[in-house]
Structure 1
């Protein structure tokens, strides 16, 4: 499998968000991996500290899915302990994605999470599909 991009592309950034639930939830982690034109990769992620209203209503709120928690492995306790405010996540991420092409394996979901009021990043995610190659050139 050979993938080619324009010579002047610079870097591509794969973006992925995890959410508290696929339905009625909110973004809880924003991860990225830069692929530079020289073949190097740089990655990172931030846990997104929930809005105070979410924390106060967790016991009653339906926006947290235990099924989603099982899949991504991020607990409420981990968010409270290691998460940072959504606005700080936006600032860090915007600095990381300057002059890059954003791509996502699930752009419909990821763009939905990125455009939530607490986490607004005005970039578009370009859809891509991954396949398992039989050989690499």
Structure 2
């Protein structure tokens, strides 16, 4: 529901000439022992967790120092992107390679306490769906064209 539509959207943006597309996979979990998706017992960052860490929930919750470190990182990335159009405008000690645009390199950032620049996000899913689309998808035809 998320992976392939995101990859297709990035590809459409590139085809339309937008080469400044950045994406990340948020993988920070404050307490990795606690399942984040009941009743399935799935461990990992939940949907929209990155937004919750930046904006805070209205109810007070005790958090770890790792949480506050991650909050600081995510907030800085958002502010950088708002100000400059780039989450990492210049290489730094934490981001020695900066953050290259996904559209030109196929890269994405795995966001955790130690962010890592990665490539080919979920390539097995993308390959599966590329195959399905190439076999069964046909471009929509506007109504009234007589086709």
Give the structure with the higher percent helix. 2
Which range, TM-score by smaller chain?
Answer: under 0.3
Alignment TM-score, normalising by the size of structure 2:
0.25
Give the structure with the higher percent strand. 1
Alignment TM-score, normalising by the size of structure 1:
0.26
